Amino acid sequence: MMDIFMKIKSPLLIMLLLFLVHSSQVFAEDTPDALACNALAMVTITGTVNAYVSQDSTDLISEGDYIITYPLTSRDMKCIALDTETDEHELYYSLNLGGGIFKPGSSASGQYALLPNTDDPEKLAFMVGYESSDGGRNYVTDNRLNIKLDQIDQKTYVADSTMILSIVSSQGATSALPGTYHYSGTLGQIEMYDKTTNDYQKNYGKVNINLTVNLKATSCLVTTDKTINIRWDALTSKDIINNVADEKVAAIGVTCNDSQTPVKMSVATSNGYVDANGGIIKTSRENLGLKLTWEDTAQPVSFSEPRTDTLKGNKNYNIVAKPVRYNDGAIALGEFANTVTVSFEYR
């Protein structure tokens, strides 16, 4: 049996304009923790994002599809230890999301997210987090974002990371309404957290957002089933070895309503391949493979290079699958399986 899954990717054309509006700094010293910290009293993150949802609302916006970034520097927070026990501090730039205007909710995948202060016909939410030094993304699981300050010498700690906002579909989102949506207001209150003493220093300032999201329906749509199961009910090793095994067709229909839309199709397999350019993939049975070809061109399906096309209206990108032997060894009887994923991307 072979499973084929179709994914259609929205065009990830993101227009992002960031204008960072800084106000005066707040300075606190002679605290019980013997720390002197200063931070920007107000930051406003402004941006415009073009986001896409599928025409049938089955492909939702996931975390990481559309990211807005704000780099934190020493201007955003800097602390100096005034005591002699400088090695005992573990300090964090802390954003209290509970002090903002956006109520807590969930993304479509069930992750903690903030909901717009609208009736939300666009069915969007915001996941808040930061990027670590290795490029990994870390999202909050409750109403507080803590980002560790870097210790640059024995007494000095500074912010040196990137705050991120990921636009996602909200939980239960279906039938999102395309349009232009504006989100503005306080995201959270800026605080400093000393993990060593479990103490929060408050009233440093706030982070505001002023975002515009242009939500558009995708120009292309997969019109056939997105999960296709293919079975060979009567298949013998002799037929496979003699190269006369039956071929099966996975019907993949796509329609694009914009004029001359560039389309890119990438194919991946769960079991690996024997010949990436020749379209021969492995199955769960030793020596048994599947040869995949595009029905319309009779060319092998490549696993190393995407197929490109320009499409207006309807077209079928059917894939023909044929069981083949790829080594000289015997083919054991029994069921075999493989999963092939076809991803469509268009610009």
Residue 280: inside a domain, yes or no? yes
Do residues 197 and 277 share a domain?
no
Residue 87: inside a domain, yes or no? yes
The three state secondary structure string of the chain is: CEEEEEEEECCCCCCCCCEEEECCEEEECCCCCCEEEEEECEEEEEEEEEEEECCCCCCCCCCCCCEEEEEECCCCEEEEECCCCHHHCCEEEEEEHHHCCCEEEEECCCCEEEECCCCCCCCEEEEEEEECCCCCEEECCCCEEEEECEECCCCEEECCEEEEEEEEEECCCCCCCCEEEEEEEEEEEEEEEECCCCEEEEEEEEEEEEEEEEEEECCEEECCCCEEEECCCCCCHHHHHCCCCCCEEECCEEEEEEEEEEEEEEEEECCCEEECCCCEEECCCCCEEEEEEECCCCCECCCCCCEEEEEEEEEECCEEEEEEECCCCCCCCCCCCEEEEEEEEEC
Do residues 81 and 122 share a domain?
yes
Of 184, 218, 252, which residue sits at a domain end?
A: 218
Residue 21: inside a domain, yes or no? no
Predicted local distance difference test score (pLDDT) of residue 56: 67
Q: What is the mean pLDDT of the chain?
A: 85
Do residues 313 and 198 share a domain?
no
Predicted local distance difference test score (pLDDT) of residue 35: 87
Do residues 299 and 157 share a domain?
no
Do residues 58 and 186 share a domain?
yes
Do residues 64 and 205 share a domain?
yes
Do residues 189 and 243 share a domain?
no
Digit-coded pLDDT (tens) for 111-167: 999 999 888 888 899 999 999 878 889 999 999 999 999 999 989 999 999 999 999
Do residues 228 and 200 share a domain?
no
Across 236-265, average pLDDT: 87
Predicted local distance difference test score (pLDDT) of residue 134: 80
Do residues 167 and 111 share a domain?
yes
Full residue range of the structural domain in which residue 149 is found: 35-218
Q: What is the value of pTM for the model shown?
A: 0.68
Q: Check which CATH number belongs to the domain holding 322 and give it.
A: 2.60.40.1090
Of 218, 238, 270, which residue sits at a domain end?
A: 218
Across 12-26, average pLDDT: 38
Do residues 168 and 249 share a domain?
no
Residue 120: inside a domain, yes or no? yes
Do residues 231 and 118 share a domain?
no
Of 202, 218, 234, which residue sits at a domain end?
A: 218
